[in-house]
Amino acid sequence: MELDAYHVDILRSGGVAMHVNKVHAVFTIRRVANDLGEDEDWLWDVANGMDTEDGVIWVYGTGDDSVMAFTDFGIENLMELIRMHKEKRKNPNSSSGEITDPLCAA
């Protein structure tokens, strides 16, 4: 669907296109670890390679205070990474010997 010039102007404010954020809530890594029954430090190691596109964001507070947080989509991706890491621990002699990141496979 193409927008005509009239509709495009409605979507702009001061000449800058406005972004509509679809994320209404995020969950801190501590909350996710608690909800999933996982160790927070281990979960941080698992999630460390995730990107914003994968549903992870950094929330910054005052000073140097920051925390990793996840959207609902990020939690789904993280749960898949957890499953893969646990499977790898159960079967350390799998064919490749490496954990393939499903987020990079697409």
Q: Which helix (H) or strand (E) holds 46?
A: helix 40-47
Distance between first and last Cα of the chain: 26
Query: Which pLDDT value is given to residue 97?
Result: 47
Each of the 106 residues of the chain gets a pLDDT tens digit; together they read 444 444 445 455 555 666 566 788 999 999 999 999 999 999 999 999 899 999 999 999 999 999 999 999 999 999 999 999 999 888 877 655 454 555 554 4
pTM: 0.66
User: Which domains does the chain show, CATH number per domain?
Assistant: 24-90 (1.10.10)
Instruction: Give the sign of the dihedral formed by CA 90, CA 95, CA 97, CA 101.
Output: negative
